[in-house]
Structure 1
């Protein structure tokens, strides 16, 4: 017969288990197994490692019971595992030789030890189950924007309370100019969810391109409706971003839709990102035009492909646009290169004029070394992009005669003089030939109004 106190304890156990099942989604059967395993472990320490022990819990009352399991034998060789028929029938009247008999053992002396062990195991079990539950809930939500409160700051990392779980906003995923305090609201994207040996980690990000993309999806209905696509995002978090957009409808301007009426849409996004400047770049299939557009808000005069295979290009900008094209500490050119995938060199029109003059002067000095070439002929050759003696030596008489001011005899004399010079100077132009750039392709970019905020 159980006392009222014992009945109360049993009720408390069942109530606690019901609460665990309700709040932590931990099944009562799992907790029963944890407790019985702990009780078996405690009893085994007393009865010996070889003893066969069973334990159970009444699911209706919560009453625990422990048993020694022994086989009915005659004679008894191993007392820890065997029992005589007479002794067995005391506990189980219908027992016969070969049967397993369950002998009740008092568990009161082991309840405290079992409770402590069960508590530790249960806490670990709860943590593991909680980890699995949180992982299963948040792993599919990677890429989703969430809002939480700063729980605490550890070093330069921020720990954020999401309600059902705690997440980390690492320093590498923060916007550098931002500072956080406890209980401050934080909006970020679930960057990734890792299940490691040391525990579950939900990593948030405010610095990733996906976060900016998600903000646009939230503010611009045309994006969620697939009328407008965001093809790429590159960022210098907190300072500047470039967003490549394309419209799937000829009636919808992708840049205008993202900006909104009087900048209403993009202003909300910029405020969320500590006033990060955002350049919206309309996608264009033509590579040269795309490179020019990527330098928004700077105006590009022309683009020249230096090496198509290596993806190297050069852009020319007006003198007053050079600083803007390069950006603070090279920020704009760096973002444009990342957006287009090209290595880009920037020069002003003044710098190009200086380079051209320097190249012309060097070519003039070089060509005047050839017998038969005077200043006027040298100017003509330079105009036709013939800039060195080796190129002159490779020309035919017909090609030279086609140039203004060069007759047949002059052409013969020039070619002979060039070949003679090369014979006398066999190492001429070798260093220059190694550094010679591939053939270039250039397109002028007509000034056009570009959208950028």
Structure 2
């Protein structure tokens, strides 16, 4: 290696944010392994690179002893006097053992180390960029399709696992896609960006993008329950009594909620008012069904809901979906009864 290589290390270090000293230390450590691998030495060796000239020298490190038992690791005090008479028993002496063709090996090794360190530095930069974007939306281009969908995010790829995909959603090569960053992992192969299209957080972030009142903190999202690809319920409230939170999220002529629905390929979205009164919140959560009465059991955190007979199937929903999503949204167990069922049960209790 030569002085121009040292200069190149300087430039690479500045460009990639790695100090020249760290690169040189890494090269020296790699050269020790290269020396032992190529020259079959079991010696203790040290490799030193001159920071100015780029000259590489290999030194065998030996303990100064009275009587030598292992010539590879030890040297007698008497022999050290031929080198320098200041050594004494217990000192360590460095003896240059640089092979004639070691410059070529050093150059090859240095190149490999620098490339590896640059790759590691770039991975760290990407990891640093994305770890701060967990729970955010990212836009990318679909690149590979199998069970896992790989998404080109520019500097790296994200992965959309089957469990994070929307059921029956089609992912076509080169299509642009919005996804939610669930987790960023640091692995030996670089950062792994785990994406989701089914996470409730995706709906939350989409509404934040579409509704200025949410961005400004006037309207807040209290909770979201979602069965991806089918239906989502979102509970909102306003910090300003003059602003209707549901209306803000729906938008004029439904434009805001339509933008979210379109991004989710037609997934139905119910937007309801949150209330600190559990009975009101629970009644709202069963929208679009109309509720006649809510009976709360605080100890069991359960609620009995009475609805008009003609609203029973709507309140429960197809395969119980509406009731299930309402329970997730509110955090309460929900039991729905028609007005007739409730009256019949009440009559039976009275007769008993």
Normalising by the smaller structure, the TM-score range is 0.7 to 0.9
Q: Are 2:225 and 1:230 aligned?
A: no
Which residue, 295, 302, 312 being the options, matches 1:304? 295
Q: Matches of 1:207 and 1:75 in 2, distance apart?
A: 74
Separation in 1, partners of 2:7, 2:66:
43
Structure 1 residues 56 and 182: CA distance shift in structure 2, 3 A: farther
Q: Distance in 2 between matches of 1:351 and 1:314?
A: 12
SS at match of 2:303: strand
**Partner of residue 243, structure 1:** 234
The unaligned stretches of length 5 or more in structure 1 are: 1-5, 90-94, 364-384, 389-453
| Paired residues for 1:31-430 under 5 Å | 31-44=23-36, 46=39, 48-49=41-42, 51-70=43-62, 79-80=71-72, 81-82=74-75, 84-85=79-80, 87-88=82-83, 96-98=86-88, 102-111=94-103, 125=117, 128-153=120-145, 155-195=146-186, 200-305=191-296, 307-349=297-339, 351-352=341-342, 355=344, 360=347, 386-388=350-352
Separation in 1, partners of 2:334, 2:13: 61
| Alignment counterpart, residue 28 of structure 1, candidates 9, 17, 20 | 20
Asked whether the 8 Å contact 1:39–1:110 carries over to 2, the reply is: no
Q: State how far apart, in whole Å, the 2-side matches of 1:13 and 1:226 are.
A: 54
Query: In proportion to residue count, which structure has more strand?
Result: 2
- Give the structure 2 partner of residue 367 of structure 1: none
Contact 1:14–1:61 (CA under 8 A) maintained in structure 2 = no
Structure 2 partner of 1:377: none
Quickly say closer, same or farther: Cα 1:48–1:159, change in 2 above 3 A.
Answer: same
Over residues 30-53 of structure 1, what are the superposed CA-to-partner deviations in whole Å (9 max), with x where a residue is unaligned? 22112211222233453732x342
Change (3 A) 1:35 1:215: same
Distance 2:12 2:173 in 1: 30
Displacement of 1:116 after TM fit?
Answer: 6.1
TM-fit CA distance, 1:324: 2.4
Any conservation in 2 of the 1:72–1:96 contact (CA below 8 Å)?
Answer: no
1:120: Cα distance to partner? 6.2
Query: Secondary structure at 2:350's aligned position in 1?
Result: coil
Which one has a larger percent helix, Structure 1 or Structure 2? 1
Distance 1:184 1:217 in 2: 23
- Name 1:451's counterpart in structure 2: none
Report if the CA contact (8 A) 2:81-2:87 is conserved: no
1:176: Cα distance to partner? 1.8
CA contact (8 A) 1:145 1:189 kept: yes
Deviation at 1:234, TM superposition (A): 0.9
- The offset of 1:123, in angstroms, is 5.9
**8 Å Cα contact 1:38/1:114 also seen in 2:** no
Q: Is the 8 A contact 1:176 1:238 kept in 2?
A: yes
Cα deviations by residue, 1:311-342 (Å, 9 ceiling, x for unpaired): 33332333443332222322111101111222
Is residue 211–residue 248 contact of structure 2 (8 Å, CA) maintained in 1? yes
Residues 286 and 76 (structure 1), Cα distance of their counterparts in 2 relative to 1, 3 Å cut: closer
Deviation at 1:136, TM superposition (A): 3.1
Q: For residues 20 and 186 of structure 1, what CA distance do their matches in structure 2 show?
A: 35
Report the Cα distance in structure 1 between the residues aligned to 2:69 and 2:313, rounded to whole angstroms: 96
Cα distance in structure 1, aligned partners of 2:140 and 2:12: 25
Q: TM-score, normalised by structure 1?
A: 0.66
SS in 2 for 1:182: coil
Q: CA deviation at 1:296?
A: 0.9
The alpha carbon displacement at 1:264 in A equals: 1.9
Secondary structure of residue in 2 paired with 1:141? coil
1:39–1:111 Cα contact (<8 Å) kept: no
Distance 1:96 1:47, change over 3 A: farther
Between the aligned partners of 2:112 and 2:275, the Cα distance in structure 1 is 62
Q: CA deviation at 1:24?
A: 4.1
Residues in 1 aligned to 2:294 and 2:65: alpha-carbon distance in whole angstroms: 98
* Distance in 2 (alpha carbons) for counterparts of 1:256 and 1:166: 38
* Cα distance between partner residues in 2 of 1:85 and 1:344: 89
Larger gyration radius, structure 1 or structure 2: 1
Give the direction of change, closer, same or farther, for the CA distance of 1:289–1:77 in structure 2 (3 Å limit): closer
Query: Cα offset for 1:254?
Result: 0.8
